[in-house]
Chain A
């Protein structure tokens, strides 16, 4: 038998926050969820985290929808903003906005598709050297690093060098 829900006067006011998952690496939904929960638990601890009424509604490789009570929105955005890496991969959970229903979150923030076009093989000249293009979207190009930048890229836990088409034209 299900227990009765709380009277409406005692229920918490709910908010839903949409986060977009940004990374050079392929991040699974499970990793994105882990990154957010890890950051929240590490930063606030178990007792203060329990006061957020935090629940992850949906976590995919592109976005996360998080539910919480109306007084904890700022704290959760702050915790997500301090998510730096997960399993040695650089990750950023960027908050898109807050809404009162899951339907509105989808409609307001997640209706646009992520524009990533994979490029098979093409070379560009940047800083007088030839680089292979790994990803391309709008005017942005992600390049596979050469030996000179490989150490720097590894240290920062990213995968590519980010440039725009104006950099290529300028050469």
Chain B
């Protein structure tokens, strides 16, 4: 089963309640993890950390121990590099945000592979037409680095409402359109489940 590891409910940036998202996800045949910064009993709970510098990020990571998934809001070069250097971080989200380049260089790629931090590909940014071109070119660069350094690419919907959720087949089709090979697609779809199993959450 595909697990969407970054979904926002009404308790953070979204407009749907956790139970509504759970119902919609069940209809689509997927499972959702809520990235609200709130510890839920019946959901996989995550937190998205936003920091201005390395020191602040480390402080936030230490205070987020209780969450199942720790996602770092990427974009700034310093934050991207600090996030992948810490093995307590699970996902580096949108490293290209607000940048002209992809935000992932050889150092980031090597550190991500060594510390087991996955780099996120967020579908919700692809829904905005003027951003697609930039994300596609960033992804091509990230894919080249992935082939060399072998870090993980995690696909999430980044959904803030129920209409942003995508099922397994839709995500596979999107990745196919982006030019990923069949094996990479399978690996990306199974990665969230593997991550959850390794962490012993379920």
Contact = CB atoms under 8 A, between A and B. Distances in A.
Interface string A61-81: 000000000000011011111
Given A82-B127, A84-B127, A85-B127, A156 B160 contact: yes
Interface residues of A, number: 38
A43 B163 contact: no
Nearest to A76: B173
A156 B19 contact: no
A84 B128 contact: yes
Contacts of A92: 163-164
Contact of A95 (B21, B129, B170): B170
Interface stretch (A5-13, A103-111, A115-123, A163-171): A163-171
B169 A164 contact: no
B176 interface: yes
A81 B19 contact: no
B13 interface: yes
B129 A162 contact: no
A81 B15 contact: no
- Which DSSP category, helix, strand, loop or mixed, fits chain A's interface? mixed
Contacts of B160: 156
Given A43-B132, A140-B20, A158-B161, A78 B127 contact: no
A77 B127 contact: no
Interface in A114-171: 126-127, 139-140, 145, 149, 152-153, 156, 158, 160-164, 166-167
Interface in B1-52: 10, 13-17, 19-21, 23-24, 28
Nearest to B136: A43
A127 B166 CA distance: 28
Contacts of B19: 163-164, 166-167
A126 B16 CA distance: 12
A49 interface: no
Contacts of B126: 82
A164 B23 CA distance: 8
B42 to A, nearest CB: 11
A168 to B, nearest CB: 10
Q: Which 5 A-B pairs have the closest CB atoms?
A: A84-B127, A78-B173, A81-B170, A162-B16, A78-B177
22 contacts: A74-B172, A74-B176, A75-B173, A77-B170, A77-B173, A81-B174, A83-B127, A84-B129, A94-B28, A126-B17, A140-B23, A145-B15, A152-B15, A156-B14, A156-B160, A158-B15, A161-B17, A162-B17, A163-B17, A164-B17, A164-B19, A167-B20
